[in-house]
Every structure is written in structure tokens, then in C-alpha cells.
Structure 1
Amino acid sequence: MTSSQNEVETISEKLKDISLKEQQLEHRKKILMVSQELRNRAKFEEAEDSAATQQKINSIDNELKELRIKKAELQKNYDNIVHAKDVKIKNDIKRESNQQLDKVFFVEPPPSSPAPVVILDVENLPTHPTKTQCPECMEFVTTETFSSVSSVTWLVCIMSAMIGCAAGCCLLPFCMDRFKTTTHRCPKCRSKITTIKKL
């Protein structure tokens, strides 16, 4: 426990004791006043007894005044200590909130154009250059593509020759990328990523 907590507990104990004493004196004063009034009504008043009772009532009043002054001082000290704790807690909260504000940063909104699509599954790559992750160097790159003659190209050539295209039309599959195999290659490490075959 800190010293301020000990002090607060001590002051609260003293305040309880003073309140108890104050209640006892109030009850004693009421009893004396009731007994004095009964004597006055009964005309059973002796000068000495009445003066002694009045003196007791006056001394109780003086004690009550002293207790109330002491109680007010203790209450003031108690409030000051508790208020100082509250102010310290509020200052700590303000400091923490200011530190949290320092940690806040503002992010600019993303651009209005759509983000580029990155295809991670190399089996699903299209026939044109695409953003993907190279399996060799693990870099995100835009692939290089090139076409090469494949068995499909030769098959279409032979089929068109069989149909009757003997005037050179059978060579068209060699000029069109549609009948060729497409190979994706990494521009950084120059390794082959995948080959897309027709048929």
C-alpha cells in the first residue's frame, strides 16, 4: 500500500470515530434537554440542578463544535488526498490518450483503379504476360511469354493439308499463336515457370 492510501484509511477511521462520538453527544444532549424540560413542567426545579444541567448541555455543545471543526478539517484533508489521486489518474489517462494519439496514423485511400490480379497457381496462368510469384526465386513478377511450335501446330497443318489446302494454307498454323504452345518465364531468374499446351 502507498502512503497516501494509508493516510486515506487513517483519516476515514478518524472520521468514523468522530461521527460516532458526535452521535453519542447528540443523544446525551437530547436526554439532558428532555430531563430538563420534564423538570420545568413539573416545577421540580432546583437552581443548582438546573444550572448543572445547563452547564452540561453547554459543554456538550462546545464539544460538538470542536468535533465538527475537527471533522471538517479531516474531511478537507481526505478530499484533498482523494482529489489529488483523481487528478493524477486523469493526468495519467490524458497522457495515455495523448500517447495513443501519437500512435494513430492516417492511411491514404487506395487508388480508384483496380488492383492488379496476382495469380499464384501457375496451372491457371493465361496465355498473355501476368503477375505471379516465381516458384524459383519467390519474387512477384510479371511473366515474359513466348510461343513455340508444338505438336498441335503440326497436327492442324497435316489436317488442313488432308482436307485439300495444298496452296500454302496448311502453313497458317505456324503463323498463328493460337496453335502454338505458350511458355511463361521469370524475367529476374530466367527460369521457366510453366508451359501452356493446346489440346
Structure 2
Amino acid sequence: MSFRKESVCPLSTENTVTDRTSDGYPTGSSGTGVYPFALVLRLRVLQVVCGISALVMGAVAFIEERGDLNLAFAVPAGCATVLAAAASIHTSRGFSGYQPSTCRTSSALRFLGPSLRVAAPLAVLWAVACSLHATLVFHAIRTLAGTSEAKSELSETVVVLAVTELTLTAITILAVLFILRIDCRYDPD
């Protein structure tokens, strides 16, 4: 029989991993969920990898487009993503066991960190990263659609870069949404 070790953070001291819900997430003995820290950490690492890849693709696009700041928006988007994901990993509530949030119950920033002092900068970092990714999507789609004068100069490399940057942005944003879903679902506070 094959057993895979799951790294989870109990939401309270009496919870242990005993069962799984229908969607595969572990549940505790009292019916409350167990925070899937290992999955969240994997998604954060995926965001870091996508951010670094976007940064490299943006640098290549900057060279390929001869200094035009079109697809090169991937450079600041990648930097912001790496910074936001690294800060999220660093301030995670899972490394030393689950820590209850000190943010008010009605606060929209509760899922970002254990305190308002941590949650506010993280919200700003993720807002900057997501807005830069939205700008990158706009520029990549505009590049792929092309204008009449730009179509003649549109090289195959630029098309590949635009598609790659769109893919990296989609993966990054999906990971953000998935982590947000996990954090909202397993927030017991």
C-alpha cells in the first residue's frame, strides 16, 4: 500500500487528519478543515517560478523589440510577482503551525496574513503584481492582434514571446485565485 505524506496545519489543537472531503482535502476529527499548507506552498513556488520566467521573457522581448516597452512589461510584472509570492511565503501562517488572524472578523485583508500590519503591505504587493499582469495581458493581446504597420514587423519570436507571457500570466493569476479560495475556505477565525 502506498501512502503519501501530506503536510497540513491543524486549525486547532484537537484536530488531526482523519478523513478526506469529497474534493480530496483533509478534514479534522471535529469536521473542520485542515489548512493544506503543502499545497499552498507549492502554488507559491509556482508563482515564483512564473514570475522569474516572465522576467526573463520580458527581458528577451525588450531586446527583440529594440527597447520598446510593449511586451517588456513582463519584467516589472515578474519582479512584483516574485516579491509578492516571497513575502506571502515569509509571512505565511503555516510554518510554525496555524496562527489565528488578529485582523477583525469583517476585514477583507484577513486571508493575507496573521495581522493587519502584514496584510496591508501584502495586499498592495499583490495589487501591483496583478495590475502589472493585466497590463501585460493588454499589451500581449494588442501585439498578437497587431496593427497594420506592426503586422509587417511582427516577427515569429515576438509572437512566441506574447503567447508565452500570456500563458505565464494566466498560470500566475489562476494560482492567486486558487490560493485565495483555499485561504477563504479554511479561515476558521
TM range (shorter): 0.3 to 0.5
Find the structure with the greater CA-based Rg: 1
Q: TM-score, normalised by structure 1?
A: 0.32
Q: TM-score, normalised by structure 2?
A: 0.34
Structure with bigger RCO (C-alpha 8 Å, 6+ apart)? 2
